[in-house]
């Protein structure tokens, strides 16, 4: 059985925003199929599809009403089968989201569960009695604001929801729920998918005693925009039983050939350590967190996170990402660190693609795309609306993919109103304008992806960091490759011994007389002759 996933590069597609094929202003599966050539030509190994299942779309598909069908807004099961077939023709693996922690309140199982305390699905969700004063059973909070408990007058009980009240939590302590979810996985595996991305992978089990989450022990200079960040969530998620479920998932995947998994680690405390736990032998193949999706763009930060993982979890495997559908795009977050937006975007791509582990790219980052400035009246995201104006919601990063310079960027017809607007700053960074253009962000990504694919050291080689002051990040991969980055908009210089010639898509680096000169936001890859020394 091959480990195709180890060191692979996955491209995340948000179906609503990739390509509208039927002209309703919302992306769909046929549109994705039509654009798979772009992902293949970019040089990626796999495509990850965010949810496309039957849903009321209150949380844009992360509120699932049917786990084994396609929502009509995206197409049909036949459209999905055609997408998988075309992806495989192009040499792309297909990974699909699995949102198993919670369903929509419109799911037939929940509609039955809430009718009484003694029906066949009564114990399929997390129900609890109120305290004597009528308040919820504990202090657990929802990520989207307010208590994590919603009163239901029919059962005269509270049900739990970590997100929207319309997203009730399934009860994974009920063996029937776990059996059903295994069947869901097998349904999609039998249709030919190559793996799964598991949403909120550390949320499945809750504390049996329903103990209160304590206050976050870390000092804060001011209250956060979201009260959820004021708690240390040691009882409402992160239970040891989660790991038993991971082991069952792995057994299911291992019963098929060449399938893989990745878990989303949504955790503000010890996320790197937990990534290691969730990818230990016999559990998930890979795990990724939001650890590299903040505002720190320093050499020490990246070194610390990567060393922390491989030191603490030598048998685990990470998937690194700088952006996704839930956070501000990194070209916006790190703008102040670049001499220009395009130069910074190209450097960030080279940096990410040089890391040990697997890589996930968010659609549009290969164009240097930035967040779209949206007004409150333009938002659809409940998180963004509930916490307006801060923290920034998720719609800003989810605006449509821009394929050309025409109206709506080629995402949909020029006379059609897309579900989120395509604005001039994003329209200026389109695929057609960058394709074949030397120095464009797109061509930089293509060159870097080709270099990673043809260089075994970049896919699987071990990492050794070199001690250099900020803002220089330098490390070797495998036995013969040095990777060096100037993470600032000012020129730098280092003394260098034991290095050979420049290789790969290096930019702004010159080597002569035992010196490496690094231009603003420069990056380079050099062969290593024996023991390398930089100072």
In angstroms, what CA-CA distances link 219 with 216, 230, 275?
8, 10, 24
Of the pLDDT bands very low, low, confident and very high (cuts 50, 70, 90), residue 390 is confident
What is the average pLDDT score of the chain? 95
Lowest mean pLDDT among 82-86, 192-196, 382-386: 382-386
Q: Report the predicted TM-score, pTM, of the whole model to 2 decimal places.
A: 0.96
Pair 29, 52: CB distance under 8 Å? yes
Which pLDDT belongs to residue 322? 98
Which pLDDT belongs to residue 535? 79
Tell me the pLDDT tens digit for each residue of 149-193.
999 999 999 999 999 999 999 999 999 999 999 999 999 999 999
Say if residue 532's pLDDT is above 80.
Answer: no
State the average pLDDT over residues 453-471. 96
* Helices within 29-172 (DSSP H only): 29-42, 77-89, 108-113
368 sits in the region (left: phi over 0; alpha: psi -120 to 50; else beta) called left
**Architecture of domain 9-101+174-452 in this structure:** Alpha-Beta Barrel (3.20)
Which pLDDT belongs to residue 301? 98
CATH 3.40.50.720 fits 462-534, yes or no: no
Lowest mean pLDDT among 39-43, 226-230, 320-324: 226-230
Pair 210, 148: CB distance under 8 Å? no
Tell me the pLDDT tens digit for each residue of 239-278.
999 999 999 999 999 999 999 999 999 898 999 999 999 9
Catalytic residue set? 199, 267
Which pLDDT belongs to residue 300? 98
Lowest mean pLDDT among 288-297, 320-329, 383-392: 383-392
Which pLDDT belongs to residue 393? 77
Which pLDDT belongs to residue 325? 96
Say if residue 530's pLDDT is above 90.
Answer: no
Of the pLDDT bands very low, low, confident and very high (cuts 50, 70, 90), residue 534 is confident
**What residues have CB less than 8 Å from 334, skipping those under 6 apart?**
295, 297, 344, 348
Which pLDDT belongs to residue 1? 52
Of the pLDDT bands very low, low, confident and very high (cuts 50, 70, 90), residue 391 is low
Among 361, 378, 275, 276, smallest CA distance to 325 is for 361
Lowest mean pLDDT among 85-99, 423-437, 521-535: 521-535
Q: Is 357 exposed, middle or buried (0-12, 13-18, 19+ CB in 10 A)?
A: buried
């Amino acid at each position: 059985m091959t480990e195709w996933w180890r060191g692979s590069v996955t491209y995340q597609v948000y179906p609503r925003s990739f390509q509208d094929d039927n002209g309703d202003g919302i992306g769909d599966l046929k549109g994705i199929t039509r654009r798979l050539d772009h992902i293949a030509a970019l040089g990626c190994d796999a495509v990850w599809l965010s949810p496309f299942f039957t849903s009321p779309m209150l949380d844009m598909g992360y509120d699932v009403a049917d786990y084994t069908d396609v929502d009509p807004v995206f197409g049909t099961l036949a459209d999905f089968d055609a997408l998988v077939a075309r992806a495989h023709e192009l040499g792309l693996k297909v990974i699909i989201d699995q949102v198993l922690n919670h369903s929509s309140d419109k799911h037939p199982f929940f509609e039955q569960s809430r009718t009484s305390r003694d029906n066949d699905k009564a114990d399929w969700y997390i129900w609890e009695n109120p305290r004597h004063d009528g308040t919820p059973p504990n202090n657990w909070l929802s990520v989207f604001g307010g208590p994590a408990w919603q009163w239901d007058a029919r059962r005269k009980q509270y049900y739990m929801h970590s997100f929207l009240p319309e997203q009730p939590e399934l009860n994974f302590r009920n063996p029937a729920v776990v059996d059903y979810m295994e069947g869901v996985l097998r349904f999609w595996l039998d249709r030919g998918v190559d793996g799964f991305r598991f949403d909120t992978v550390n949320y499945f089990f809750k504390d049996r005693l329903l103990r209160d989450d304590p206050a976050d022990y870390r000092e804060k200079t001011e209250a956060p925009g979201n009260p959820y960040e004021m708690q240390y969530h040691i009882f409402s998620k992160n239970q040891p039983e989660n790991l038993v479920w991971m082991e069952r998932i792995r057994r299911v995947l291992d019963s098929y050939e060449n399938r893989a998994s990745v878990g989303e680690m949504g955790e503000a405390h010890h996320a790197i350590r937990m990534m290691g736990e969730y990818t230990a032998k016999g559990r998930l193949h890979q795990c990724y967190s939001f650890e590299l999706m903040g505002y720190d763009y320093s050499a020490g930060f990246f070194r610390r996170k990567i060393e922390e993982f491989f030191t603490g979890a030598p048998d685990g495997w990470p998937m690194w990402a700088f952006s996704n559908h839930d956070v501000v795009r990194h070209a916006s977050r790190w703008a102040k660190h670049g001499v220009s937006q395009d130069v910074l975007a190209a450097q960030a791509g080279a940096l990410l693609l040089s890391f040990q582990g697997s890589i996930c790219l968010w659609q549009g980052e290969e164009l240097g795309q930035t967040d779209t400035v949206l007004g409150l009246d333009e938002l659809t995201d409940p998180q963004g609306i509930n916490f307006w104006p801060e923290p920034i919601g998720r719609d800003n990063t989810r605006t449509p993919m821009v394929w050309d310079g025409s109206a709506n960027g080629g995402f949909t017809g020029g006379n059609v109103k897309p579900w989120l607007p395509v604005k001039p700053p994003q329209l200026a960074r389109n695929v057609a304008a960058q394709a074949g253009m030397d120095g464009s962000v797109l061509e930089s990504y293509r060159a870097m992806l080709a270099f990673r694919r043809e260089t075994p050291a970049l896919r699987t080689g071990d990492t050794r960091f070199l001690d250099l002051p900020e803002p220089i990040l330098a490390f070797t991969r495998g036995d013969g490759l040095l990777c060096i980055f100037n993470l600032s908009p000012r020129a730098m210089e280092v003394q260098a011994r034991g290095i050979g010639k420049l290789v790969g898509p290096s930019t702004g680096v010159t080597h002569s007389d035992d010196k490496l000169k690094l231009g603003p936001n420069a990056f380079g890859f050099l062969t290593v002759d024996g023991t390398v020394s930089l100072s």
